[in-house]
Amino acid sequence: MKILVANLGSTSFKYRLYDLGDPHEPMLARGAVDRIGASKSKVSYSSGKGKAEDEVPVADHGEAVRLCLQQLTDPTLGVISSAEEVAAIGFKAVHAKGISGVRRVDDRLLSAMEEFNDVTPAHNPPYVRAMRMLADRFPEMPLVAAFETGFHATIPDRNRRYAVPNDWATDHGVLRWGFHGASHRYIAERSAQVLNRPGLRVISCHLGGSSSLCAIKDGKSVATSMGMSPQSGLFHNNRVGDFDPFALPAVLRATGMSLEQALDVLATKSGLLGICGKNDLRDVEQAADAGDSNAQLALEMFVSSIRHYLGAYLVELGDTDAIIFTAGIGENSPRIRAMVCQDLGAFGILLNSELNETGSGERKISSADSKVEVWVMPTNEEIIVARQARDLLSGTL
């Protein structure tokens, strides 16, 4: 069974094609279309047969999918003979009112996603638009939404509920839903394979453009830093993270902004960007090295927020087996890993500085005498979505 996994942005379409009929689950091809709707869109494609890049006009996401299928069936670089070989398109969907887990995309699901457009403003609107367009353009192809919240359904109420009136939770879904579910699920599964211990207790640190921590016990999420929305928990490249909502009236009075304007600032102009004017951690690190005090402050604040949740989850899990760094920052920033693990010897966490600074890919970076193992594990959210789509279609989910 071949599954196409789509990652959508408002003007982008990225995809990977997996062959889940092969026990090794190989990725057959990958591609991307950027600047959809512009006079010239950047198109890229890669498979075992070669690579290609081009600039052509791509009007919308439906046209991007048509172009993707054309690439996959190309006589020279293609990996399938016809589009009918694609069993489904899987989406790493984010949030929907009253719906989680893995579902076929239909009108009810899309309406439920639209109800939470204001909860996930950077994610739901482009996904809903594209899903509607693809359902109309390719009615014969199953569309499957694998919601990020699904992995966190096992979190106990003591960690899932807010201290708000009960009907807010039961009737309106005001809960700590958690996100980055595909990444944390992958880390749960992969760490179980690598460490091979019963009842494994792991803290997954997904650090990237958006970031979250997850406490995992025996393969299940028991706590996570994100809450009702992806704006919460650790702060992100341009999103606020944890924030006291009672600060808003003071800001509105002082600035004259509307609530919608203030929320937009919190969702798009805060985080690293708000603190130091840069939203890529690589640029922040470079600026800090050049003496930019705001950039240095941004690094320290980011690490402090990570350590805040790390400490909480060490207490939650008790005898923790491993801390795992993943995603763009977690995999590629020795500096952040070192700052997070600094002076944690009392908790049995000892980093090997040489291992942390060198090497690539999946590896252990803790000292031999560290009670808690520290790992770098590249995540693979797309293979999780592909497997979930396959299992839904085959009735084994």
Residues comprising the binding site for ATP? 14, 280-282, 328-332
Backbone region of residue 287 per phi and psi (left: phi > 0; alpha: psi in -120 to 50; beta: other values): alpha
**Given CA atoms 320, 381, 94, 285 in this order, what sign does their dihedral have?**
positive
User: Token match 């009737």: residue?
Assistant: 171
Would strands 373-376 and 322-326 be described as parallel, antiparallel, or unpaired? parallel
- Residue numbers in the known binding site for Mg(2+) are 7, 381
Helix, strand or coil for residue 44?
strand
- Residue numbers in the known binding site are 7, 14, 280-282, 328-332, 381
Q: Distance between CA 362 and CA 54 in Å, rounded?
A: 33
Instruction: Reduce the secondary structure of 332-396 to three states and give it as a string.
Output: HCHHHHHHHHCCCHHHCCCECHHHHHCCCCCEECECCCCCCEEEECCCCHHHHHHHHHHHHHHCC
Helices and strands, counts by H and E, the chain: 15, 14
Q: Distance between CA 4 and CA 64 in Å, rounded?
A: 13
| Dihedrals phi, psi of 130, to nearest 5 degrees | -70, -40
Helix, strand or coil for residue 232?
coil
Q: How many whole angstroms from its chain centre is CA 18?
A: 19
Contact 213, 306 (CB under 8 A): yes
Q: Distance between CA 305 and CA 162 in Å, rounded?
A: 20
Contact 220, 316 (CB under 8 A): no
C-alpha distances (whole Å) from 169 to each of 155, 166, 174 are 14, 5, 5
User: Token match 């805060």: residue?
Assistant: 270
User: Token match 């760490």: residue?
Assistant: 191
Burial class (CB in 10 A: 0-12, 13-18, 19+), 164: exposed
Burial class (CB in 10 A: 0-12, 13-18, 19+), 158: exposed
